[in-house]
């Protein structure tokens, strides 16, 4: 199967200040939020997608990694909440 990808080539003016940055980029969508990018020219290219290409294993791997990261983030927040509750319970309160 052949797929044609349409977009544009952009020059990142910020790359002048960072020699390690690649100055030219290709994007398929709008770049309004990137004020340092200047459009060089529209461009499109065609690629051959193998008949046996299956994106599901890579997507599953990415989702599992995201799930693991969220679980860690949740556990950190939960630990902080439990610590604060414990601290508040340890404080004695005497009414005036």
* Domain spans, the chain: 2-48, 54-96
Q: Report the first-to-last Cα separation within the chain, whole angstroms.
A: 79
Q: Distance between CA atoms of 12 and 20, rounded to whole angstroms? A: 12
Global confidence as pTM = 0.52
What is the chain's mean pLDDT, rounded? 90
pLDDT in tens, 3-15: 999 999 999 888 7
> Region 45-74: what's the mean pLDDT?
96
pLDDT in tens, 27-55: 887 777 778 888 899 999 999 999 999 99
Q: Which residue has the tokens 């790359």?
A: 15
Greater pLDDT, 95 or 2: 2
């Amino acid at each position: 199967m052949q797929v044609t990808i349409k977009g544009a080539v952009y020059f990142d003016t910020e790359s002048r200040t960072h020699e390690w940055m690649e100055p030219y980029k290709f994007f398929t969508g709008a770049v309004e939020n990137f004020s340092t990018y200047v459009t060089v020219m529209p461009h499109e290219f065609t690629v051959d997608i193998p008949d046996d290409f299956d994106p599901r294993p890579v997507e599953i791997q990415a989702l599992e990694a995201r799930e693991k990261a969220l679980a860690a983030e949740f556990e950190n927040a939960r630990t902080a909440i439990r610590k604060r509750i414990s601290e508040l319970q340890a404080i004695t309160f005497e009414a005036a």
